[in-house]
Structure 1
Amino acid sequence: MPEGHTLHRLARAHTKWFAGGPVAVSSPQGRFAASLVDGRVLRKAEAHGKHLFHVYGPDAVVHVHLGLYGTFTEAELPAPEPVGQVRMRLVGPSHYTDLRGPNACEVITAAEARELRAKLGPDPLRRDADPARAWARISRSRTPIGALLMDQSVLAGVGNVYRAEVLFRHGIHPLTPGRDITAEQWAAMWADLVALMRLGVRRGRIDTVRDEHLPRAMGRAPRVDRHGGEVYVYRRTGQPCLVCSTPVAHAELASRNLFWCRECQPERG
């Protein structure tokens, strides 16, 4: 599932290509009420966590959640005939984009959009984010921090990669109860997530490895993975930790893959 930086990249691109003028909106697949916004002016596109919102005015917002399989593909005009199951097509003055396979694509009201967003935790990529909201939940929870970071009602936009990597970078075992995390640790993790996710928006991939552990600095081969980017533990099961050489561990937590280093992230207690 795409993580928050991907949705913020999409919001920036869609604002650049489509906002400020009328947009032709269609649903070649026929499963989206495109007529409700077709020809209207797109005011802006914005993201909150893993949700994308196309704002057409006070009474119409297109809400998109990509889920596991949703993708946007785009190019400059002219737009070819739709191929495959295109849920939504947007055509602007210079570009078009096709949405396929989303978990959600629906027209909602501004009030419904506010209600949806109120259920989400703070997004490290949003300027209006309040990390204290997440800390209030984390600091009194017995749930492992590895699960809390993935709970979108606690923290919005963080997925499996950022979860694994921020915990490694701060030496925290993923099964540590939230209430055992200190305020100082949370402040440091939040600041790190803000920086790492902003980097992800700029580069279009997730890079979490510090300069001294990059391939050139260590004399190692670059990571080869369809997810791209240099990481410490994510999808590196059994490979040597880049810091201490201990084989990276793997387990499941809440039906999601968990990666950590037993030496760099020791279990306490």
Structure 2
Amino acid sequence: MVGLPDLLIAPFHHVREAELPEGHVIHRLAGAIEDAFAGEEVTVTSPQGRFAVEAAHLNGSRLRGAQAWGKHLLIDFAAEGAHLVHIHLGLIGRFTVGPITPVHGQVRLRIEDAVSSADLRGPQWCRLLSDEEWEAVLSTVGSDPIRPDADPEKAWRAIHRSTRAIGVLLMDQSITAGVGNIYRAEVLFRHRIDPMTPGNRLAHATWQAIWEDLVVLMRRGVATGRIDTVRPEHTPEAMGRPPRLDRHGGEVYVYRRDGQPCLVCGTTVRRTNLAGRHLFWCPRCQRRHR
């Protein structure tokens, strides 16, 4: 569990590009909701009014728990019929969990008890589902490295038969759920893989190494609340350099470091667009596939 008195979950923004929250953020949010409300009978409302009918159906029921699957959040209530609230924050959504406060702004969903409140604002999705409807959603979601029940071989089968670039495939939420732009750029750098390498040219052993690294990095993100991908020899302390200043937090190799020297070889880190997203890589450490 997160164990924080006040947790703000929101996608960060940058002048160059707005980003969806990465999967570890949603797992932390699920933990915060469970810490605050699991097993409690809660008040459920929609101050904004856009979720009012569904909130009335859930109001006064017990919150059983919450879980994350990639970038999808599911909150389970002990209510008759449809009882699962499915949330996807999208680019501008935010969910705050903390001590109970007055309602401020356009709150789509509020969950509260006598001590705590959780307010959802601006999500891409907030909908009430049955068990069968949630199973249909899950059928479209890929393997989540943070979840212990994830199947990396399912993701491998999709990658192995694809001619698309591995830099695109890793961001495909039907293949690797929860992997966002930061983890994509960093894990490919850590394994010296050119992002343009076709999936069907990737060795199975290479995929296994990528997956195992994602498991470590993303679970660390759940524990710390930040993304740190540099190895001990490349930390600010080890290299005698100032720490990175970025609202995303954490020490990284290439993400949003375009125009700066690579921490490993000194080559200028580059940026391009790939499938509508900014891609960051080192052209020397990640040599083009031949």
Please report the TM-score for the alignment, with normalisation by the length of structure 2. 0.90
What is the match of residue 115 of structure 1?
Answer: 136
- Helix, strand or coil for the counterpart of 1:10? helix
Aligned to 1:259: 280
State the match for 2:92 in structure 1: 69
Counterpart Cα distance in 2 of 1:156 and 1:74: 24
Equivalent position SS for 1:86: coil
Matches within 5 A, 1:97-136: 97-136=118-157
Paired position in structure 1 for 2:172? 151
- Cα distance between partner residues in 2 of 1:111 and 1:42: 19
Among 83, 92, 107, the residue aligned to 1:60:
83
**Aligned counterparts of 1:132 and 1:94: Cα–Cα separation in 2:** 43
Q: How many angstroms apart in 1 are the aligned matches of 2:34 and 2:97?
A: 13
Match of 1:201 in 2: 222
Distance 2:136 2:114 in 1: 32
Q: CA deviation at 1:93?
A: 3.9
Counterpart CA distance in 1 for 2:138 and 2:50 is: 24
Question: What is the alpha-carbon distance in structure 1 between the residues aligned to residue 233 and residue 62 of structure 2?
Answer: 48
Aligned mate of 2:43, from 24, 32, 42: 24
Q: Is the aligned partner of 1:12 residue 2:35?
A: no
Unaligned runs of at least 5 residues, structure 1: none
Match of 1:41 among 32, 52, 62: 62
Question: Number of matched residues?
Answer: 267
* Structure 1 counterpart of 2:104: 83
Given that 1:11 and 1:45 are in contact with CA atoms closer than 8 Å, whether structure 2 keeps it comes out as yes
Deviations 1:72-105 (A, max 9, x none): 122213x21x111111111024211111110001
Question: Which structure 1 residue ranges, 4+ long, deviate > 2 Å from structure 2?
Answer: none
Distance 1:23 1:257 in 2: 41
Match of 2:241 among 220, 223, 227: 220
Q: Aligned pair 1:3/2:22, yes or no? A: yes
Residue 108 of structure 2 aligns to a residue whose secondary structure is: strand
Instruction: Name 2:208's counterpart in structure 1.
Output: 187
Whole-angstrom distance in 2 between the partners of 1:74 and 1:154: 30
Conserved in 1, the CA contact under 8 Å of 2:236 and 2:243? yes
Distance 1:36 1:115 in 2: 22
2:223 partner letter: R
Q: Indicate conservation of the 8 Å contact 2:196/2:289, yes or no.
A: no
* Cα deviation digits, residues 232-259 of structure 1 (max 9, x gap): 0000011000000100011001100000
Structure-2 separation of matches of 1:104 and 1:44: 19
Secondary structure of the corresponding residue to residue 5 of structure 1: helix
CA contact (8 A) 1:18 1:93 kept: no
Q: Which of 224, 227, 231 is matched with 1:210 structurally?
A: 231
Q: How far apart are the structure 1 equivalents of 2:107 and 2:117?
A: 12
Equivalent residue letter for 1:138 = I
Q: Within 2, Cα distance between the matches of 1:209 and 1:110?
A: 41
Q: Secondary structure at the match of 1:167?
A: helix
Contact 1:165 / 1:233 at 8 angstroms: preserved in 2? yes
- Which blocks of at least 5 consecutive residues in structure 2 are unaligned? 1-19
Contact 1:36 1:107 in 2 (8 A): no
Give percent identity, aligned residues only. Answer: 56
Q: Is the 2:161–2:199 Cα contact (8 Å) retained in structure 1?
A: yes
Q: Is the 8 A contact 2:24 2:222 kept in 1?
A: yes
The Cα offsets for residues 2-22 of structure 1, whole Å up to 9 and x where unpaired, read as: 010000000111011111021
Q: CA RMSD in A?
A: 0.9
Helix, strand or coil for the counterpart of 1:52?
strand
Look up the equivalent residue of 1:116 and give its one-letter code.
Answer: V
Using structure 1 for the length normalisation, give the TM-score.
0.97
Query: Does the 8 A contact of 2:33 with 2:97 survive in 1?
Result: no
